[in-house]
Amino acid sequence: MATFIGFSTIGKNKSFTTVDNELVKIDLLNAFNIRQGELPGRPNYGTVLWSFLFENQIAETQTLITNEVHRVASGDPRIFIQDLVMYPQDNGVLIELSLQIVSGIDPLMLSIFFDQTSGTASYV
């Protein structure tokens, strides 16, 4: 099994090293929190998903959101989405992902809430 090693200061005091599934989760959440075009030198990194949250949650909009989640996740070669379920909420959208980490055996289940009010994505 490969070990992914990275750096994160979220919720850490002294040791900033993050590995394996935790690193993949942080990297995916970062991609969802960055609007596409905001990262200098990488105009395709990030997401346009935030513009869909203010639209009526009809089938067409939900398809656009699903396609955007798949596009963002496909930017990380460590991730394969096995299943995606979306639940429109009052202040945003809750997306549940079943991910297969390339080096892992068991799928990882994530619930990500895209909050319109605060403009952030977070795990729930």
Integer Cα distance of 50 and 37 in angstroms: 13
Integer Cα distance of 18 and 38 in angstroms: 24
How many CA atoms within 13 Å lie on the side-chain side of 92? 17
pLDDT digits (tens, 9 = 90+) for 33-43: 999 988 888 88
With contact defined as beta carbons under 8 Å apart, do 108 and 99 qualify?
A: yes
| Fold assignment, 5-123 | Nuclear Transport Factor 2; Chain: A, (3.10.450)
Q: What is the pTM of this model?
A: 0.74
Q: Which residues of the chain have pLDDT under 70?
A: 1-20, 103-106
